[in-house]
Amino acid sequence: MRIIKPLIIPIVACLLVYILYAAGFVVIPECDPQDRGWGCGNEQSFAQGWILRPTNVSLSESGDLRIDLSILNETAEWSAMQAVAGQPAVLKTGSGESINCDTVFVSTGGHYIAPGFQIKGYTAGSEAEPQTQLIYVECKGAQVEPKSKLLVDINYVTGQYNYYDKTATQVSVELEVDLDAVETDLQYPIVTEVEGLVLSPANAIVGLNEVALTLADAKRTDTGLEFNWQAYNPSDYPSALHVGPPPVVGTDGILYGFYKDPGSVAAPLTSPLKTTEWTTTVNTPNDVNGFYIMVSVETGTRLFSSSVIDITDK
């Protein structure tokens, strides 16, 4: 009896809930597909990692299978990713064949991307001669075939950028792309809005030693965009603040701005109770708009946090 009695209460409680549910007194709320928490049915949760989406599957000029892709950050954190260097992607054809795809351009170009943002290209080349690199995979000798899938091994990091331990948060994962699910009408750059993520130019970003960084001005130039930055030091001691050269992304889904490690750039020294100013530039096409800046600011010793600044009116 000592064993049975403790079981009676939960059993009776379950029966009571079932009776009330059957009678309509207990209502289970319907799943909201926009709820990025637990998700609905096959809907995955918000923190599901990086997502590759095929935007075009066709034969290249050389007759090889080319798969154009977009990459979406659904890690719920700032994140940088890239395909594993030197490792081919693998095409699994509908007929069961496996084909290595040696041409793999899948990356954020070194930059950390805001959660919920999506891109289809980044800046490669060099600082002196930047080049736009579209994100795609090419499979030599392969053909377009229904029910095919692409497998890509990637590494990604999340959270703050640590200059002294760049892979502290690294995750390695294999991503699968359904090549029958081509999406030609994707919108860039924001897919999932995150409350409080996007700042206005008037918002100050507080960095190391409470130095406050603000975007004083942003303007178009003949070659792209020019930003005027101000750093105010509220302390009684001189302070230097490392700020990575910020890239921008607009409605065309290309991340413009050649990557430079924010921990290795020169740090302007700001005197006590003074403001230091400097400018940065980024090359962009004149016919692209809707830009957002992604800036990395030193918040600890060589530890960087990122912010998004809205300049869609430029």
pLDDT value of position 243: 94
In this model, does residue 146 exceed pLDDT 80?
A: yes
Rounded to 5 degrees, what are φ and ψ at 260? -130, 135
pLDDT value of position 15: 54
What is the rounded distance in angstroms from the CA atom of residue 15 to the CA atom of residue 21?
10
In 223-290, DSSP assigns E strands to: 224-232, 239-240, 248-249, 254-256, 269-270, 275-283
Instruction: Calculate mean pLDDT across residues 150-179.
Output: 97
Least confident of 30-39, 89-98, 188-197, 278-287: 30-39
In this model, does residue 244 exceed pLDDT 60?
A: yes
What is the rounded distance in angstroms from the CA atom of residue 210 to the CA atom of residue 153?
40
For residue 267, name the pLDDT band (cuts at 50, 70, 90). Answer: confident
Instruction: Calculate mean pLDDT across residues 114-129.
Output: 96
Q: Does the structural domain 198-311 have CATH classification 2.60.40.1240?
A: yes
Any idea which residue has 């736009």 for tokens? 132
pLDDT value of position 210: 96
What is the rounded distance in angstroms from the CA atom of residue 119 to the CA atom of residue 224?
19
Report percent pLDDT > 90 for the chain: 82
For residue 277, name the pLDDT band (cuts at 50, 70, 90). Answer: very high
What is the rounded distance in angstroms from the CA atom of residue 215 to the CA atom of residue 117?
21
| CB-side neighbour CA atoms (13 Å) of 144 | 11
For residue 302, name the pLDDT band (cuts at 50, 70, 90). Answer: very high
Least confident of 8-17, 31-40, 58-67, 77-86: 31-40
Buried-exposed string 187-212: b where 16+ CB fall within 10 A, e elsewhere: ebbbbbeeeebbbebeeebebbbebb
CATH number of 49-178: 2.60.40
For residue 48, name the pLDDT band (cuts at 50, 70, 90). Answer: confident
Mean model confidence pLDDT for the chain: 88
What is the rounded distance in angstroms from the CA atom of residue 72 to the CA atom of residue 62?
29
In this model, does residue 55 exceed pLDDT 70?
A: yes
pLDDT value of position 144: 86
Separation of first and last alpha carbons in the chain: 77
pLDDT value of position 17: 44
What is the rounded distance in angstroms from the CA atom of residue 73 to the CA atom of residue 314?
25
For residue 126, name the pLDDT band (cuts at 50, 70, 90). Answer: very high
For residue 211, name the pLDDT band (cuts at 50, 70, 90). Answer: very high
What is the rounded distance in angstroms from the CA atom of residue 242 to the CA atom of residue 296?
9
Instruction: Calculate mean pLDDT across residues 58-83.
Output: 96
Cβ count within 10 A of residue 53: 18
Task: Give the start-to-end residue ranges of the domains of the chain.
Answer: 49-178, 198-311
Any idea which residue has 């995979």 for tokens? 137
In this model, does residue 235 exceed pLDDT 50?
A: yes
User: Pairing relation of β-strands 239-240 and 291-300?
Assistant: unpaired
In this model, does residue 26 exceed pLDDT 60?
A: no
Q: Do domains 49-178 and 198-311 have the same CATH topology?
A: yes
Buried-exposed string 109-134: b where 16+ CB fall within 10 A, e elsewhere: bbbbbbbbbbbbbbbbeeeeeeeebe
Phi-psi region of 200 (alpha: psi -120 to 50; beta: other; left: phi over 0): beta
In this model, does residue 8 exceed pLDDT 70?
A: no
Sign of CA dihedral 299, 305, 308, 311: positive
Cβ 151 vs Cβ 87: under 8 Å: no
- DSSP letter (8 states) at residue 299: E
Cβ count within 10 A of residue 137: 26
